[in-house]
Structure 1
């Protein structure tokens, strides 16, 4: 089952990213984010009804709510990024942060044991994120601040 769900998930992510990127060029980022999150919630509720679990504990519900809130907040800021800066900066920073947070959550809350390479990679994300987000680029002055009249 996992072999079918993984590529389906990748296709869904790719399609949503593509369509979301097109929409972000045309409408305010909140108009893209809110319906997407509501749609995801409705899909999760339907999936939970169709594929019931043997038992649902209160901690399962709390983790699900926290995950949904975290994902919604992340999408809000990810979609806000292109309206405030270059997507070539926003995408890698958000991708690296998302992976690092997932690994850290597993290590601290689920007793996962990341490898030394994983810990090293997460440590390298801090200076990488700082370097990527602080650089100058089109429409920015040499100090990384937006140049007057750039928009």
Structure 2
């Protein structure tokens, strides 16, 4: 496998996915304070769809075989279900209760699948997985968060399994084309969001000044999808999934930098744990 400054491509792409997804979540989270969740989701996904399709045309990427488009569509449906479950959970419970559980579950699913398909990774990487899970939990957890009830656990499981199977389905893409399967994923998830908006009647036309922020959320979310797809193709599924699951660290650090949100001591410990995990996994 190609090495770059001591890291393989899977590690570099996985970290790129975490940075991009974490930045996208930060932009999307700020946008949802000013518009409805479904509005932000639909606009950001539309931007991502346009970006992926335009990029595929510009670089002349060959159309992917129908099997890869199908895997992409399944990934979009799975990820869409996970996103809707997470957003619903965040609307009825505290973020510090459901977000860390969803993040950990979303990593555990592809890790178990990856180990079943490819065997155990090196022992030092397994230790890195432990530090990664611990770090994500500490970073995302509220300092005085409420205890998790059965409904919180159910929604976190649905969100985590949705995101986890998104990672598994993307890993099933076998052809050289990456962008077109992601286009299929975007079309599938957008269809779900439009149907949800029609059913719930909660989508609204946003103020023009907030659209750029929603567009940024879509751009970074798309970048996260692309980097993850490249990471999954370049190396082991479990390693790519665990590195990608570090995205909450990026979101929290951006909130600290730009929104001046205070980080508790256990969050800084979580950041340190994540940094140790990156070193051990790579």
1:100 equivalent in alignment to 2:249:
yes
Number of aligned pairs? Answer: 129
Match of 1:51 in 2: 202
Q: What SS does the corresponding residue of 1:93 show, helix, strand or coil?
A: helix
Instruction: Tell me how far apart the structure 2 counterparts of residues 69 and 20 of structure 1 sit (CA, whole Å).
Output: 18
Q: State the 1:69 CA deviation.
A: 0.8
Distance 2:165 2:209 in 1: 32
Is the 1:107–1:114 Cα contact (8 Å) retained in structure 2?
yes
User: What's the offset of the Cα at 1:41?
Assistant: 4.3
Q: Does residue 70 of the first structure (1) align with residue 207 of the second (2)? A: no
Change (3 A) 1:6 1:64: farther
Is this contact kept in 2: 1:37–1:72, CA < 8 A? no
> Structure 2-normalised TM-score?
0.38
**3-12 vs 81-90, greater mean Cα deviation:** 3-12
2:183 aligned with 1:34, yes or no? Answer: yes
Equivalent residue for 1:115, pick from 222, 241, 264: 264
Q: Is the 8 A contact 2:256 2:263 kept in 1?
A: yes
Distance 2:211 2:195 in 1: 15
- Structure 1: state its 5+ residue gaps: 134-151
- Once the two structures are TM-superposed, the CA of residue 102 in structure 1 deviates from its matched residue by 1.5
Match of 2:168 among 18, 26, 29: 18
* 1:58 Cα offset (Å): 3.7
Residue 5 of structure 1 and its aligned partner are, at CA, apart by: 6.1
Counterpart position of 2:32: none
Change (3 A) 1:63 1:27: same
> Residue by residue, what CA displacement relative to the aligned partner does 1:75-100 show, whole Å, maximum 9, x if unpaired?
1010111221222321111111x111
Unpaired segments ≥5 residues, structure 2: 1-87, 90-150
Helix, strand or coil: the match of 1:112?
A: coil
Asked if 1 retains the 8 angstrom alpha-carbon contact of 2:168 and 2:237, the reply is: no
Q: TM-score, normalised by structure 1?
A: 0.64
**Larger RCO: 1 or 2 (CA < 8 Å, sep 6+):** 2
Alpha carbon RMSD of aligned pairs, Å? Answer: 2.9
